[in-house]
Amino acid sequence: MSEQFIPRLFLPDYTQGNVEQKKQFSQQLGKAFNETGFITIANHGIDHKLIDDLYSEIHSFFALDEHLKKKYEIPGIFGQRGYTSKEKEKAKNANTPDLKEFWQCGQIVTDGDPVKDIYPENILITESLSFNNVMIDIYAQLEHMGRQLLMAIAEYLSLPINYFEEYVHNGNSILRALHYFPIENPDALPEDAVRSSAHEDINLITLLIGASADGLQVLKRDGTWFAVQAQGEDIVVNVGDMLQTLTNNVLQSTTHRVVNPPRELMGTSRFSVPFFLHPKSSMSLACLDSCISSENPKAYQDITAGEYLDQRLREIGLKM
């Protein structure tokens, strides 16, 4: 990947490795998140057939008639569950909505945690039982992987290995199935209309399962854009703004976007499935004392994860 601009790490080096391998993985992860904000993870253990089934199911769902999809668009929950129709979400500070529609599912609380009463219920579709099942399965596997990566991040930051665990157990994480729909009449689009405008993610970390086509680009520190290749079995992981805030920019979220395809491919769809790992709303994002110094003074006001999410949902147009 372009002289290893986005480093490639092997998850078993951390989950099954010896002390030295775990330490090396943690250091490589932290270094990448400090320098580029992105890594790819190989040998992650998620079955390839399950990923194929996931993409098959989301292809079928987004091919449904508009009126069938819209019955799953629930007012009052700000797109946090179920379907969000075309051109509803926009990037922070963008004027034009993104050229996409999406489906979201969230946490399933099974242990009596009172946080269950805060979360909206997941929406189940009646057209395909397997769609519901595969989304729940993928959610669980990506959440487990994300918690393992947070342990490695905690080690890099010299925090207790389970520092994040109390916050992400039954956390407010979201699995999103994205459809960047065909652009049938490109000449009629506003000049700034793109599949996903330049933005940073809100959460702690994002885990992205592939994509059906190219288009994802990452903004490098020198101001140029780097194209992340589609396909492959690796999972792309990036830092979100919550983790950047908590670490006072020691770990940095990176601006990224999804550009429109070449004109000859504008009539085609693009699908992708990111998992946004969020903590519980009560988690404080106040900058860690260990990340504040005379060379790196405190850059952010104290805020909770819930307050931060609410603020950003308003900025991206999902909440008024």
Residue 166 is part of which domain span?
8-315
**Which residues does residue 300 pair with via DSSP β-bridges, in sequence order?**
none
- Of 85-89, 140-144, 151-155, the range with the lowest mean pLDDT is 85-89
pLDDT given at position 320: 64
Kindly state the average pLDDT of the residues 156-160.
Answer: 97
Residue 320 within a domain: no
CB of 109 within 8 A of CB of 119?
A: yes
Residue 254 within a domain: yes
Residue 223 within a domain: yes
3 pLDDT band, cuts 50/70/90, is very low
What's phi and psi for 40, nearest 5 deg?
A: -120, 145
pLDDT, tens digit, for every residue of 255-293? 999 999 999 999 999 999 999 999 999 999 999 999 999
Q: Provide the mean pLDDT of the chain.
A: 93
Give the helix ranges, DSSP H, for the chain: 12-15, 19-35, 48-62, 66-70, 129-156, 165-168, 241-246, 305-315
pTM for this predicted structure: 0.95
**Which residues does residue 39 pair with via DSSP β-bridges, in sequence order?**
237
Q: Please say if the pLDDT value at position 231 is more than 70.
A: no
Residue 3 within a domain: no
pLDDT, tens digit, for every residue of 132-144? 999 999 999 999 9
Residue 27 within a domain: yes
Q: Find where tokens 């008639």 sit.
A: 65
How far apart are the C-alpha atoms of 53 and 142, rounded to whole Å?
A: 15
How many other CB atoms are there within 10 angstroms of residue 92's CB atom? 16
Domain count, the chain: 1
List all residues 6 or more positions away from 132 whose beta carbon is below 8 Å from its beta carbon. 124, 125
The DSSP-derived string for the chain is -TTTTS-EEETHHHHT--HHHHHHHHHHHHHHHHHTSEEEEES----HHHHHHHHHHHHHHHTS-HHHHHTT--TTSTTSSEEE-TT----TT-SS--S-EEEEEE----S--GGGGTSPPPP--SS-HHHHHHHHHHHHHHHHHHHHHHHHHHHHTT--TTTTHHHHTT---EEEEEEE---S-GGGS-TT--SEEEE--SSSEEEEEEESSS-EEEE-TTS-EEEPP--SS-EEEEE-HHHHHHTTTSS----EEEPPPPGGGTTS-EEEEEEEE---TT-B-PPPGGG--SSS---S---BHHHHHHHHHHHTTS--
Identify the three-state secondary structure at position 41: strand
Burial of 284 (0-12, 13-18, 19+ CB in 10 A): middle
The CATH code of the domain that includes 127 is 2.60.120.330
6 pLDDT band, cuts 50/70/90, is confident
Residue 2 within a domain: no
